């Protein structure tokens, strides 16, 4: 049943990453607004919705490259005896920790800059919470992600974006 998904991801790794994040990341933002206001409504005008989806698609390209790059980073450190040889959970945790401590802050800032540009105003409130989410949410989430076969990692990461939207929407209820 998953053969079609794996074939599609292998044939088009960047485009499938973009599509998954455009859909699930944007849905995460919509669901967050629904939970905050306890109502079903279109929280963004159509143009903003399209821009948000395009923003998530752009972030997906960065994330796809980071996933590959940080796996190589950890494996390279191990190959040069700067880390012990890692496999399984310790390797997944090391990749997740390195990625979220080094690449994560960059991604948080770029995401906020894109949101600010789309909204036409500067909003830096809650940035501290976004940085903290790298530790309490993204490190554990990506540890699980890096335990999966490579073809399923980006899809799960996109699902985690949706999950974080639900969590944040629940915590930020009015």
In a domain, 12, yes or no: no
Structural domain count of the chain: 1
pLDDT of residue 169: 86
In-domain check, residue 5: no
Query: For residue 86, which phi and psi values (nearest 5 degrees)?
Result: -115, 145
Instruction: Indicate the Cα dihedral angle 144, 20, 104, 171, nearest 10°.
Output: -80
Query: Per residue in 64-93, pLDDT tens?
Result: 999 999 999 999 999 999 999 899 999 999
Tell whether 7 is covered by a domain.
Answer: no
Q: How does the average pLDDT of the chain come out, rounded?
A: 95
35 within 8 A of 173, measured Cβ to Cβ: yes
- In 3D, which of 42, 91, 89, 53 has the Cα closest to residue 71? 91
| Residue 113 placed within a domain | yes
pLDDT band at 171 (very low <50, low <70, confident <90, very high): confident
CA atoms within 13 A on the CB side of 50: 3
Is residue 3 in some structural domain?
no
Does the pLDDT value for residue 174 go beyond 80? no
| Contact call for residues 70 and 104 (beta carbons, < 8 A) | no
Q: For residue 38, is pLDDT > 90?
A: no
123 part of a folded domain: yes
Position 8 pLDDT exceeds 80: yes
Does 159 map to a domain? yes
Give the tokens for residue 160.
Answer: 């985690």
Q: What local confidence, expressed as pLDDT, does residue 124 receive?
A: 95
- Pairwise CA distance, residues 16 & 9, whole Å: 6
Is 40 a domain residue? yes
What domain range is 91 assigned to?
18-171
* pTM of the predicted protein model: 0.93
Check: CB of residue 133 under 8 Å from CB of residue 105: no
Q: Are 68 and 25 in contact (CB under 8 A)?
A: no
């Amino acid at each position: 049943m998953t053969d079609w998904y794996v074939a599609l991801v292998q044939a088009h790794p960047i485009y499938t990453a973009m599509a998954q994040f455009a859909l699930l990341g944007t849905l995460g933002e919509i669901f967050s607004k629904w939970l905050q206001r306890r109502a079903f409504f279109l929280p963004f005008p159509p143009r903003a919705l399209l821009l948000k989806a395009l923003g998530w698609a752009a972030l997906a390209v960065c994330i796809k490259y980071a996933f590959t790059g940080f796996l190589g980073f950890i494996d390279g450190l191990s190959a040069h005896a700067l880390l012990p040889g890692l496999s399984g959970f310790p390797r997944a945790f090391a990749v997740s920790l390195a990625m979220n401590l080094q690449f994560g802050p960059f991604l948080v800032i770029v995401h906020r800059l894109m949101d600010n540009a789309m909204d036409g105003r500067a909003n830096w409130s809650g940035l501290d919470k976004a940085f903290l989410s790298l530790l309490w949410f993204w490190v554990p989430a990506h540890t699980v992600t890096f335990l999966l076969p490579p073809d399923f990692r980006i899809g799960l990461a996109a699902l985690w974006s949706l999950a974080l939207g639900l969590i944040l929407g629940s915590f930020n209820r009015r």
